[in-house]
A and B are shown apart, each in its own frame.
Chain A
Amino acid sequence: MIKQTEGSQAVAEAVALCRPEVICAYPISPQTHIVEGLGALVKAGDLAPCEFLNVESEFAAMSVAIGSSAAGARTYTATASQGLLFMVEAVYNASGLGLPIVMTVANRAIGAPINIWNDHSDSMSQRDCGWIQLFAESNQEALDLHIQAFKLAEEMSMPVMVCMDGFILTHAYEQVDMPDQAQVDAFLPPYEPRQVLDPAEPVSIGAMVGPEAFMEVRYLAHAKQTMALDRIPEIAAEFKEAFGRDAGGLVRGYRIEDAETIVVALGSVVGTLEETIDTMRAEGVKIGVLSIRCFRPFPMAAVRAALARTARVVVLEKSFAVGLGGIVSTDVRLAMVRIHVRGYTVVAGLGGRPITQDSLLRVLRLAVADELKNLTFLDLDWDIVNRHLAREAATRRSGPIAENLLRDIGSGARPTTAGKAQP
């Protein structure tokens, strides 16, 4: 059914169509509308029997999810940003135990400084945690990916993170095509756990494992993710067959066939990039965009195949490894080993900084002319950065960085030096 709805509500309805049995959540912006939507559906009895637990922290949310999944229930939770970091120990535990929990990450920056707006720092911090990570380009894809995620998680007995851009997708009202219950039931079979806490057949789960088997257990997690590389495109194809829509898979190229420059990106910024690329194509520039839809397992072969015949690659990412540069770029470069292409990293949109077509056109034109620096920060205000560096050079007690910058740009933040406070 075609409807106009908020991204979070669309995800809530899609998760509900997957017949979850236990949902637990702790509120954090911008994830809140998703779990509010699900809470309302559970309270109304629309999902009965389904348990909705309001827990006291994200650490508890993931821990409840671990218990319920191990007891054989289809389990869902959602988080973002600080919340994802607060549950990290349990996030690793869920994948280590092989529990097929599905979790939405409404991507948001990580503090300090505290910031509620979108970037990919939260999900990227968990790229090595053993979860499958899928990235949605649009609300329709976010909705569709959740339906695929339960199937994938339960088949592989691995947890899946569906990453959607906070606010940009979660709070945007867009048209979506919402499947009906019969369609989802036909696509997603009931959950049959590989391991379950059952008094009729008691098992110990979570035993202490020493050096004699730990490497093998970890390797098997890797082997499973490698298997998922095959299964993810198959599930996307099955989804297309059943629902008539393209969603998910490993990567998606846009105008890359003859492209001399390919921009690699994840999530909703791909839409902005496609329009930018259309503009540049109209100017005769052979440029395209490659959307990485599955970041873990990293689709090394698919990325390599897509980039094999291009001259230059620009990785545009909403994440940043302090002291190194790009995070996605590092993985993309690994896929490009022994392919002779010029590579650029553009860090963009951190903490919700808008990524405009004008700015993209500017950096991409520089890239096409090979005049772009290897590591570029899109629309970085060098003046306030340099003024702060000068302050630090001049004064030992230069004060808190973020507050100094806010004062510098005249946002009305109070000065931190005593005696100089202004109303």
Chain B
Amino acid sequence: MTQPIKFYQTGTFTVGNRLLPEGQRSVQSSEARDNSLNSGHRACQGCGEALGARYVVDAAMRATDGQLIAANATGCLEVFSTPYPETSWQLPWLHSLFGNAAAVGSGIAAALKVKALKAGQGQATTRVIAQGGDGGTTDIGFGCLSGMFERNDDVLYICYDNEGYMNTGVQRSSATPPAARTATTQPLGPEPGAEFGKGKNVPLIAVAHEIPYVATATVADLHDLEAKVEKAMRLHGARYLHVFVPCPLGWGAASCDTIRLARLARETGLFPVFEAENGEITSVTKIRRPVPVDEYLRLQKRFAHLFGAGGHPETIARIQAMADKNIKRFGLLAEESAA
């Protein structure tokens, strides 16, 4: 095969594994996949987090030849995967608390380092991931996350960002976007939904720690997600992967729109997909077909108050301005579509 495959050549944005050489196929297309997060768990239909975690952990398992331990924060991922006495996890897995997954990961990594030295190995062959939702990462677990980063502990931390506290009933987190309705940012008053000018960009904060690797990804591009996990696992030290995972329940979106919403978040510029190494941004995923933000917002009931009679077109314009700012800041426009 001499011609590079473009995944969108079918025009459907679907990932055509059958078109790819063996080595480039998704881990999930392999019969030998680990199924680290096994079927039978209790995630909602169309759950972006379950999809993201399945790809991330399997890719990490493949990258480490199955020598992997996971620490997990409290949240949807932990709850839907382990109601006693069942567990979906096919790898050693530890859930401690909501806000400490990064520190627990640090502890596991420290123990593995000592065990490796005692066994006469220079470096631990068993690797560590820690994972949580946006609440467990950008809010309550933020201190432990920053500590793990600054110590450069050998942990890949994965944040599955669905922009709110979905497990507790859809409350606002510091990852909730402006104008979004949550149970604690109701669509009431002159500025309905979550307020503008609040929230934080944890991927960029991670970059500011100058750790070996930071990347963002979405469940719309699973090959990219897997490639970033594999790249992260080739590196040592603190690494951070922030995965955009739509939540049908919390966003009021159709279960069948999870991938579509993730793709629109990227294509509007609202969720920039990039990589950074040692504090420098090294790559961005260009937008192929720029779309206005209202295409993305309209699919979600959490933004329904912005549309129709009594809607808030000025608010949509502010959200568009945020997307435009991202596009400019990260240089997201592909040259072929810039015209």
Contact = CB atoms under 8 A, between A and B. Distances in A.
B122 to A, nearest CB: 11
A66 B107 contact: yes
B82 A72 contact: no
A122 interface: no
Given A22-B107, A66-B96, A199-B68, A56 B143 contact: yes
Contact of A67 (B83, B93, B111, B117): B111
Interface string B139-154: 0000110110011010
B104 interface: yes
A24 B82 contact: no
Nearest to A23: B110
Contact of A72 (B68, B115, B117): B115
Contacts of B113: 49, 51
Given A90-B100, A97-B96, A208 B108 contact: no
Nearest to B91: A202
A207 interface: yes
A55 B68 CA distance: 23
A65 B107 CA distance: 6
Centre residue among A66, A198, A213 by max chain B CB count within 10 A = A66
Contacts of B99: 59, 89
Contacts of B147: 55-57, 60
Given A93-B97, A198-B92, A202-B90, A56 B107 contact: no
Centre residue among B96, B97, B99, B146 by max chain A CB count within 10 A = B96
Given A67-B103, A68-B110, A72-B111, A207 B69 contact: no
Contacts of B106: 53, 55, 60, 63-64, 67
A24 B107 contact: yes
B111 A213 contact: no
Contacts of A60: 100, 103, 106, 143-144, 147
B236 to A, nearest CB: 15
A328 to B, nearest CB: 30
A95 to B, nearest CB: 12
B126 interface: yes
Contacts of B71: 67
B204 interface: no
A48 interface: yes
A209 interface: yes
Interface in B66-109: 66-69, 71-72, 78-79, 82-85, 87, 89-97, 99-100, 103-109
A197 interface: yes
Contact of A64 (B91, B110, B112): B110
Interface residues of B, number: 47
A216 to B, nearest CB: 11
Contacts of A53: 106-107, 110, 151, 153
A54 B151 contact: yes
Contact of A50 (B85, B95, B108, B114): B114
A204 B111 CA distance: 18
B198 interface: no
Contact of B111 (A22, A90, A203): A22
A205 interface: yes
A207 B95 contact: yes
A402 interface: no
A73 interface: yes
B234 interface: no
Contact of A66 (B100, B150, B153): B100
Contact of A68 (B84, B111, B146): B111
Contacts of B117: 48-49
A208 B103 contact: no
Nearest to B125: A199
Interface string A61-80: 00111111111110100000
A90 B96 contact: yes
Contacts of B93: 197, 202-206
A21 interface: yes
A59 B114 contact: no
Contacts of B68: 199
B118 interface: yes
Interface in A58-112: 59-60, 63-73, 75, 89-90, 93, 97
Contact of B144 (A59, A73, A75): A59
A75 B118 CA distance: 15
A210 interface: yes
Given A207-B95, A213-B84, A69 B118 contact: no
A51 B114 CA distance: 7
A208 B76 CA distance: 11
Interface string B20-43: 000000000000000000000000
Closest 10 CB pairs of A and B: A67-B107, A206-B95, A56-B147, A63-B103, A63-B100, A71-B111, A73-B111, A49-B117, A67-B104, A68-B107
24 contacts: A22-B107, A24-B107, A53-B110, A55-B106, A55-B151, A59-B143, A59-B144, A63-B97, A64-B103, A64-B106, A64-B107, A69-B107, A69-B111, A70-B104, A71-B107, A93-B97, A197-B92, A202-B90, A204-B92, A205-B92, A206-B78, A206-B94, A208-B78, A210-B83
Given A70-B94, A205-B95, A206-B96, 11 more contacts: A22-B110, A53-B151, A55-B103, A63-B97, A63-B100, A66-B94, A73-B114, A90-B97, A204-B82, A206-B82, A208-B83
